[in-house]
Amino acid sequence: MLSLSLISPRSGQSVSRPFLLIVLTNCLLMLPTASLTADEPKSKQNKFNLAGVVEAISSEEISANTDQIQSLTVNSIVAHGTRVDKGDEVLTFKQKPITEQLDQAKRTVRLSELAFAGQELNFSQSQALSRLSKEEADRTWKRAQKAYSNFMKVDREREEKAALFSLKQSLASLENATEELQQLEQMYKEDDLTEESEEIVLKRAQQAVDSANFRYQSAKIQTDRSINEELPNKTADQKNTLVKAELAYNKSMKDIDLASEQASIELEVKRSALQIEKENLEKLIADSKRSKLTAAEGGIVIHGQLQRGKLSDKPTEHKVDDKVSSKQVVLTILQPDQLQIRVAVPEQHFNQVKAGEPCTVKFKSMPNLVVDGKVQTISTIPYAANQYDCVIAFARDNSPKGITPMMTCEITFLPASGESEDNQAESAKTNPKNKKAEQPPKSKRLKGEQNVDSPVVKEKAEA
């Protein structure tokens, strides 16, 4: 039988044994609980869950993808969720609107060909007229040059000489008339008596002198005007005429060249437009052959287009007689054999998700199924506000049975630190400082075990 007593350090008196047993019991019961809390793994404290969606690694988007036909009418379409094989017909369009558009395009091209033929004829005629116009302008310019040369070298001098000669002739006429009058007067003066007939002759001679004198004065004025006014003005007019003729010639030649170049460019524009119309007709003929679309690979048919592996919240269900655009994705064919998981990682978890780290995946439709996964890629640039694109691959090559595209799931990440477990192990091997100092194993106290080294506890054995 054991007897325990507590010796007070001050008085040296023992304390009652029941009180001592209560204190020791409470201390021993508290030890295991504190030890477990301290030893709880940190990975459980850092784990977090993110929502994801299963997507097919390989898929095919079905659209008319026509170049000239902008709108098409659905004639037949495979139901949403149908499984098809390679080469199966999945979508057809009504042929009548396509045929009508094709016939109209053919007529338009033919009209353009006829218009272009007329344009070519007009161009050839305009080129011939341009040559004739150039020749005419050249002749006009040469005539103007010759006229100016004749005036400056011959006509101007001749007109000046003519004016002077006219003045000289007038003066000569005056002198002759005056001389005749003087001779008559001298002759008649010798006679004492002047007959009446002689007076008449003298009168007529005087009139001739007066007339010659008037003509001389007029010729003198006219000669002065011709030499000092008319000839300089004519010279200036001839120069202006030559300059105007040169300007007209240059303008005519430039206008002809511009008109010819413009006609040539217009013809090339018409030719290019016609070529484009012919090319568009060829594209339209190719478009008409896309009225029946088949699956390039087998898979599951989905109506509409997936965004990051998910359908839009608004359901897309196409039916017969629906209008669709040429580039609109009408169907998507998913290959369900090879799958992956698409996840949006918030910015606060970006540094906790590393490529190559493991994770676990649970599916909402199969809550009892837990699949191992591995982070395949994570983008370094967000695809949306505070969201990074992440792809999770299944740990095994093949996806689990029963998993199909567009299933939602929950991914649990267990990041040990800022780097993956493989990187941590490699870092620990290459850098011994990263290894934690080994601690001696702590001894666990069982309930009822006492510390025999305690200075305040003494054991007494009683028989």
Position 318 pLDDT exceeds 70: yes
**CA distance to 83, 112, 301, 302, per residue, from 62 (Å):** 15, 35, 10, 10
- pLDDT at position 18, please? 53
- pLDDT at position 426, please? 46
User: Is residue 90 classed as helix, strand or coil in its secondary structure?
Assistant: strand
Buried b (16+ CB within 10 A) or exposed e, 117-150: eebeeebeebeeebeebbeebeeebeebeeebee
8-24 mean pLDDT: 51
Cα torsion angle, 227, 228, 233, 239, sign: positive
Cα gap 375→406, rounded to integer Å: 19
pTM: 0.59
189 — pLDDT class (breaks 50, 70, 90) = confident
Question: Is the separation of the CB atoms in 401 and 365 below 8 Å?
Answer: no
421-434 mean pLDDT: 46
- pLDDT at position 191, please? 63
Position 242 pLDDT exceeds 50: yes
Structure tokens at 188: 């008649």
**CA distance to 19, 145, 189, per residue, from 16 (Å):** 6, 150, 205
Neighbouring C-beta atoms of residue 391, cutoff 10 Å: 18
- Chain mean pLDDT for the chain: 81
- pLDDT at position 179, please? 85
At CA 447, angle to CA 443 and CA 448, rounded to 5?
105
Q: Choose the weakest-confidence range: 179-193, 354-368, 383-397, 415-429.
A: 415-429
21-48 mean pLDDT: 53
Position 337 pLDDT exceeds 80: yes
pLDDT tens-digit map of 265-275: 999 999 999 99
83-84 and 358-363 as β-strands: parallel, antiparallel, unpaired?
Answer: unpaired
pLDDT tens-digit map of 81-116: 999 999 999 999 999 999 999 999 999 999 999 999
Cα gap 407→363, rounded to integer Å: 7
60-69 mean pLDDT: 93
Position 315 pLDDT exceeds 50: yes
- The amino acid occupying position 370 is V
- Any idea of the CA torsion for 396, 397, 403, 408, to the nearest 10 degrees? 70
Q: Which of 159-173, 208-222, 243-257, 416-430 has the highest mean pLDDT?
A: 243-257
**Helix 95-150 and helix 231-288, axial crossing angle in degrees, nearest 10:** 170
Cα gap 78→84, rounded to integer Å: 9
Comparing 146 with 452, the larger pLDDT belongs to 146
Spell out the domains of the chain, with CATH numbers in brackets.
98-288 (1.10.287)
- Secondary structure of 388-438 as H, E, C letters: EEEEEEECCCCCCCCCCCCCEEEEEECCCCCCCHHHHHHHHHHCHHHCCCC
**CA distance to 89, 406, 426, per residue, from 303 (Å):** 15, 13, 48
- pLDDT at position 240, please? 93
